[in-house]
Structures are given as structure tokens and as C-alpha cells.
Copies of this chain bind each other. A is one copy, B any other.
Amino acid sequence: MIDQVIERWHQHLRGALPGGLDELLADDVVFYSPVVYTPQEGKAITKLYLEAAGQTLPGDTAAGDTPADDRPSSGGGFRYTKQVMAGDTAVLEFETTVEGKYVNGVDIIRCDDAGRIVEFRVMIRPLQAVNVVHEQMRAMLASMKPAD
């Protein structure tokens, strides 16, 4: 089940999933931020965080860049570097660059029996990355409104 969920997650990131996050997330999904202690409960707030992250983490590469460019792997846009799945849980490791800072992180995604995401947990390293993502997310969230 989790592999189908992750396939749909990748589809969503490509903008190719009809229904998008509304389709993927359970109503009672909980989002755990890399920065903030308090779990964010429910679909509306989780969508808000994932949309903000989706605008922050693509990083210093413009969205229209071709994936075939020959930029060195130490810079550039968001890419998944590991995918570990078992049972109801997937861990996707990623790298990106935000404001010139290297960001390495994981998405920990857990689904229910219906294939909806019930837990979305993000951690990043190193310390400089946590600080730059903190700043970016704060600015992004301040400019967004939660969906109804």
C-alpha cells in the first residue's frame, strides 16, 4: 500500500495527480515540522505546510529548469536521494539548496489502510539548513492563507 501512496506523492509533485493533496491526505493527518515542536493536526493546516514547503524547498533552481542539465550535484534543485519503504511507512531522503545553503532532509510518510497519508514528518540537517528553512517557511506562511 505505501508504495502506491508514494507513487501518487511523486505524481502530485509533478502536478500530475488529479485531486492533489486533497486526494492524498487523510482528514486527520498530522504534520510534524522540522522546526516547530507542536504537531499540526488536520488536512487544512497540513496542506498549508506542504504547499509552503513545496515553494521553499525547490530551492535555488527555477521550476522550469530541465532535469537533464549538467549542474554539479552539490547545487541546484530538489531531488530525492533515498527511498526506504516497509509496511505502512516510507522514508524519502532529499537534498536541495535554499538561499545558497545545502539542505539534506527526510520526509517520513505513513498511510492508513485506505492509502491516505495519516502522518507527514520532516527533518533536515545541518543546523544552517534548519535556520534558513525556518526563515523561509515563516515568510511563506505569513503570506498564505489556510484553505477552507
Contacts and interface: CB of A to CB of B under 8 A. Distances in A.
**Copies of this chain, how many?**
2
Contact of A35 (B35, B86, B126): B126
A33 B84 contact: no
**What class of interface size applies to chain A in its complex with B?**
20 to 34
Given A91-B106, A93-B108, A106-B108, A127 B35 contact: yes
A104 B123 contact: yes
Give the secondary structure class of A's interface. Answer: strand
A82 interface: yes
A10 interface: no
Given A108-B82, A108-B106, A130-B130, A125 B35 contact: yes
Contacts of A121: 93, 104, 125
